[in-house]
């Protein structure tokens, strides 16, 4: 797994609340058995008309955001299904962080396992970020995970919270399964002492 | 009392504490998983991971697999004859993975095939006090039995296959208390839609909900599953209901439940699980059902619900700009005007199915409305039982004939139009009254518009061709 480094980029604004996993990656793109091809379906129904032509007005189709690494989204981002295809599609597109006021639990878990940093901010900061991006779409946002801080033009900055274990995993590329398996002895012991599970 | 720490505990805390394998400072807990359910869509990359690492499945007997999301629901369909090559490849991959790793699979054509959250309870895999996970957010369904059951991502599917454990931070607890009783024409679906319309789609985020109260206690297991199923639509990780006599009666004699003295021991354990009188929750919510009416959604998330005789809200009356924009976009997508009545709105498709409402009691309810009536000319109605077992049961009761005589399609089991992966889908612009759980944009087909409702309300719409208060037909 790669390690997470500093991000500098402008932000893609998607101000809607409750952007669900069916928007992030519609179900018909879930038929793959690999991860690599998933990004093709990212926001597919917002990027394309029914006849396959491009929806010009949608931010993901605009050139100034082509290389953006930061997505700025409305409340409760990633609600809906548990499909890890959602963070695969987002990271496959090149995005490395999503900023919102809140995230759905499973999406957040999935994101952190895929080198995608979900940053939760308060409403005021959220609004200030949207104002900034609206005023100057190319404004650079700098995210430093190590110091848990975000810097904006004009010497504005704020810090964010992150679970210390998740942070360590992102920064060191620590493999979570290896971590679990390092407790093999305890798992064995647990299974021996456990009478609750009886599956005939 | 919780034997682990001898203090009054909630149902959730007991199950959680009993499954902690290890805990380190500054790290999530290592939680043991009793039962792991898998299906074709969220598992292939997890098995790839196992192969890359050269790891076996730790406890294949604690894994149950089915295929449901991309399976065709046309009678007699087989994997080999599927037209959708990608969907077919996914199913073939699941067959191979289950064979290679010794996992019990109810594949397409098996007499026990069906939707994962329907099959596991009906086969007796789902039991009180268990930890249950699946790469599927509606795993919350199994909480109806007093299990701690929640959806996980594919990386976590790999973790559980390899270690039978999961890294988890302890969620918070929330009590949702519902007292009273259900009057005629109302169902468990109306309760959960009403709840989500009150707390919103993020209302339960970070929490495990426990549903309590006299109304909950009076519900059947199938009704309890409908409620717990949609906990995730309120943002909750899981929903739980304490096991009781209703639970034990449902479980007794099912194929994979304990038998003989094992049953007695299990029962003794299960009876210790309900929340202790002095235990407390992190938050509480009381849902008043005194003036409950059949519920229907008008928007593009399950929190956008209305009483059937209510009016579509007006964005102009919302002051918060993002919320207003969200509602505007939603109404625009749905083609609904603010302030109008939802009642009598024309409908094109009625979908009776999904892990929320495809069980035998759901089919019986809908059949009661359809009996002796016809599906309106403008309506295509699909009836998709949740499992082959339910399909057989319905056929034994003659429900299939009621549906077919009325002019509905009687299909094979599967997820079908709930997520429209298998070709069962809406055309752009069509309105569907659906008994499923999500009304997201394009969920049931690109451009399709979903109105979520109960099986009774769905059947009523099928008969009249428009949104209808089922109480006028009962
Ligand atoms: S029926 Fe719908 S919600 Fe349930 S498991 Fe299938 S796709 Fe998911």
Instruction: Tell me whether residues A35 and B45 touch, CB distance under 8 A.
Output: yes
The ranges of chain B with pLDDT < 70 are 1-5
Instruction: Tell me whether residues B62 and A200 touch, CB distance under 8 A.
Output: no
Contacts of A112 (CB under 8 A, 6+ apart): A118, A163, A166, A169, A170
Predicted confidence at residue A199, as pLDDT, reads 65
Interval between CA B386 and ligand 1 midpoint (Å): 10
Q: Give the residue, by CA position, lying nearest to ligand 1 atom 2.
A: B418
Instruction: Tell me whether residues A20 and B301 touch, CB distance under 8 A.
Output: yes
The string of DSSP letters for B275-305 reads: PPTT---SEEEE---TT---EEE-SSSTT-E
pLDDT at A196 over 70: no
Name residue, tokens 């890294």: B167
Q: Residue A122, CB half-sphere, CA atoms under 13 Å: how many?
A: 3
Q: Probe ligand 1: pick from B385, B436, B439, B440, max atoms within 8 Å of CB?
A: B436
Whether B31 is in the pocket of ligand 1, judged by its Cβ within 6 Å, is no
Once rounded to an integer, what is the mean pLDDT over residues A61-74? Answer: 96
Q: What is the DSSP letter of A193?
A: T
pLDDT at A195 over 70: no
Position A3 confidence tier, pLDDT thresholds 50, 70, 90: confident
Q: Which helix (H) or strand (E) holds B322?
A: helix B321-334
pLDDT above 90 as % of chain A? 87
Instruction: Tell me whether residues B153 and A82 touch, CB distance under 8 A.
Output: yes
Predicted confidence at residue A33, as pLDDT, reads 87
Distance CA B85, CA B90 (A): 9
Interval between CA B439 and ligand 1 midpoint (Å): 12
Q: Probe ligand 1: pick from B138, B151, B411, B425, max atoms within 8 Å of CB?
A: B138
pLDDT at A70 over 70: yes
Instruction: Tell me whether residues A33 and B237 touch, CB distance under 8 A.
Output: no
Q: Which of B152, B266, B269 sits opposite A82 (nearest CB)?
A: B152
Q: Helices then strands (H, E): number in chain A?
A: 8, 8
- Among candidates B274, B271, B270, B333, which has minimal Cα distance to B298? B333
Distance CA A194, CA A199 (A): 13
CB B146, CB B209: distance < 8 Å = no
Once rounded to an integer, what is the mean pLDDT over residues A96-109? Answer: 96
Predicted confidence at residue B6, as pLDDT, reads 73
Interval between CA B137 and ligand 1 midpoint (Å): 9
Whether B355 is in the pocket of ligand 1, judged by its Cβ within 6 Å, is yes
The Cα of A12 is separated from the nearest Cα of chain B by a number of Å equal to 16
Q: Which residue of B has its CA nearest to A198?
A: B258
Q: What is the mean pLDDT of chain A?
A: 93
First to last CA, chain A: 39
Q: Probe ligand 1: pick from B354, B384, B412, B423, max atoms within 8 Å of CB?
A: B354
Residues constituting chain B? 474
Whether B120 is in the pocket of ligand 1, judged by its Cβ within 6 Å, is no
CA A61, A62, A67, A71 torsion: positive or negative?
negative
- Residues A164-186 pLDDT 10s: 999 999 999 989 999 999 999 99
Once rounded to an integer, what is the mean pLDDT over residues A93-110? Answer: 96
CB B445, CB B353: distance < 8 Å = no
Retrieve residue A8's tokens.
Answer: 């500098």
Q: Is the pTM of this model over 0.90?
A: yes
Task: Select the residue from B44, B121, B154 to test the A interface by mutation, using most A Cβ atoms within 10 A.
Answer: B154
* Count of C-beta atoms within a 10 Å radius of residue A141: 22
ipTM confidence: 0.92
Q: How many CB pairs lie under 8 A apart between chains A and B?
A: 201
Retrieve residue B298's tokens.
Answer: 């008008």
- Among candidates A64, A63, A109, A65, which has minimal Cα distance to A84? A109
Distance CA B160, CA B103 (A): 14
Whether B233 is in the pocket of ligand 1, judged by its Cβ within 6 Å, is no
- Ligand 1 closest atom vs CA B116: 5
Whether B40 is in the pocket of ligand 1, judged by its Cβ within 6 Å, is no
- Among candidates B377, B118, B144, B166, which has minimal Cα distance to B240? B144
Q: Which of B27, B130, B154 sits opposite A197 (nearest CB)?
A: B130
- Ligand 1 closest atom vs CA B418: 2
Residues in A closer than 8 angstroms to B44, CB to CB, are 33-34
Distance CA B38, CA B68 (A): 10
Position A1 confidence tier, pLDDT thresholds 50, 70, 90: low
Instruction: Tell me whether residues B235 and A76 touch, CB distance under 8 A.
Output: yes
CB B38, CB B63: distance < 8 Å = yes
Q: Assign residue B97 a region: left if phi > 0, alpha if psi is -120 to 50, beta otherwise? A: alpha
Retrieve residue B338's tokens.
Answer: 């603010």
- Residues A143-164 pLDDT 10s: 999 999 999 998 999 999 999 9
The Cα of A196 is separated from the nearest Cα of chain B by a number of Å equal to 7
CB B113, CB B388: distance < 8 Å = yes
Whether B436 is in the pocket of ligand 1, judged by its Cβ within 6 Å, is yes
Predicted confidence at residue A5, as pLDDT, reads 84
Interval between CA A82 and ligand 1 midpoint (Å): 11
Predicted confidence at residue A36, as pLDDT, reads 84
Could you give the dihedral angle defined by the CA atoms of residues B329, B334, B337 and B339, in that order, rounded to the nearest 10 degrees? -90
Distance CA B36, CA B80 (A): 27
Interval between CA B121 and ligand 1 midpoint (Å): 15
């Amino acid at each position: 797994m790669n390690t997470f480094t500093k991000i500098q980029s402008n932000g893609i604004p998607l101000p809607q609340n409750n952007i669900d996993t069916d928007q992030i990656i519609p179900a018909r793109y879930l038929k793959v058995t690999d991860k690599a091809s998933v990004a093709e379906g990212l926001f597919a129904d917002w990027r394309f008309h029914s006849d396959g032509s491009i929806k010009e007005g949608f931010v993901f189709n605009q050139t100034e955001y082509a290389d953006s690494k930061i997505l700025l989204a409305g409340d409760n981002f990633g609600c809906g299904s548990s499909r890890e295809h959602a963070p695969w599609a987002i990271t496959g597109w090149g995005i490395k962080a999503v900023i919102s006021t809140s995230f759905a639990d499973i999406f957040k878990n999935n994101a952190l396992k895929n080198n995608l940093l979900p940053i939760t901010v308060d409403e005021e900061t959220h609004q200030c970020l949207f104002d900034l991006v609206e005023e100057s779409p190319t404004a650079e946002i700098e995210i430093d995970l190590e110091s848990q801080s975000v810097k904006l033009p004009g010497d504005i900055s704020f810090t964010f919270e992150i679970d210390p274990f998740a942070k360590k995993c992102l920064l060191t590329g620590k493999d979570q399964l290896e971590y679990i398996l390092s407790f093999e002895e305890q798992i064995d012991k647990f299974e021996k002492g456990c009478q609750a599970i009886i599956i005939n | 009392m919780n034997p682990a720490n001898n203090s009054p505990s909630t149902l959730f805390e007991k199950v959680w504490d009993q499954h902690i394998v290890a805990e380190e400072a500054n790290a999530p807990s290592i939680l043991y998983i009793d039962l792991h359910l898998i299906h074709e869509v969220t598992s292939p990359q997890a098995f790839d991971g196992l192969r890359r690492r050269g790891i076996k499945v730790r406890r294949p007997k604690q894994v149950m697999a089915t295929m449901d999301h991309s399976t065709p629901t046309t009678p007699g369909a087989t994997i080999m004859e599927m037209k959708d090559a990608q969907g077919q490849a996914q199913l073939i991959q699941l067959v191979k993975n289950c064979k290679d790793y010794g996992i019990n699979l109810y594949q397409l054509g098996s007499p026990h095939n069906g939707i994962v959250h329907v099959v596991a309870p009906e086969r007796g895999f789902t039991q009180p006090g268990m930890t249950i996970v699946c790469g599927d957010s509606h795993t919350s369904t199994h909480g109806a039995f007093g299990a701690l059951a929640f959806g996980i991502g594919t990386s976590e599917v790999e973790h559980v296959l390899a270690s039978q454990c999961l890294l988890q931070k302890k969620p918070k607890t929330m009590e949702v208390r519902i007292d009273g009783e259900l009057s005629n024409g109302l169902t468990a679906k109306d309760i959960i839609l009403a709840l989500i319309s009150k707390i919103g789609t993020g209302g339960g985020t970070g929490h495990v909900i426990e549903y309590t109260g006299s109304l909950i206690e009076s519900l059947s297991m199938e009704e309890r599953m409908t409620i717990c199923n949609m906990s995730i639509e309120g943002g909750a990780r899981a929903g739980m209901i304490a096991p009781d006599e209703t639970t034990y009666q449902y479980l007794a004699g099912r194929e994979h439940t304990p038998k003989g003295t094992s049953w007695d021991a299990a029962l003794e354990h299960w009876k210790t699980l309900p929340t202790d009188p002095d235990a407390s929750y992190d938050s509480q919510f009381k849902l008043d059902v005194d003036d409950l009416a059949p519920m229907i959604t008008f928007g593009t998330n399950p929190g956008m619900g209305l009483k059937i005789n209510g009016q579509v809200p007006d964005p102009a009356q919302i002051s918060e700009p993002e919320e207003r924009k969200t509602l505007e976009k939603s109404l625009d997508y749905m083609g609904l005007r603010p302030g109008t009545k939802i009642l009598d709105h024309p409908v094109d498709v009625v979908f009776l199915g999904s892990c929320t409402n495809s069980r035998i009691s759901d089919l019986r309810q809908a059949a009661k409305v359809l009996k002796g009536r016809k599906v309106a000319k403008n309506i295509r109605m699909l009836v998709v039982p949740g499992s082959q077992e339910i399909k057989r049961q319905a056929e034994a009761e003659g429900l299939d004939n009621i549906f077919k005589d009325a002019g509905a399609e009687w299909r094979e089991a599967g997820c079908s139009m709930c997520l429209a992966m298998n070709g069962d889908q809406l055309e752009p612009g069509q309105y569907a009254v659906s008994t499923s759980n999500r009304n997201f944009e394009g969920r049931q087909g690109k451009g399709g518009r979903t109105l979520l409702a109960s099986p009774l309300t769905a059947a009523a719409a099928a008969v009249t061709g428009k949104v209808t208060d089922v109480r006028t037909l009962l």
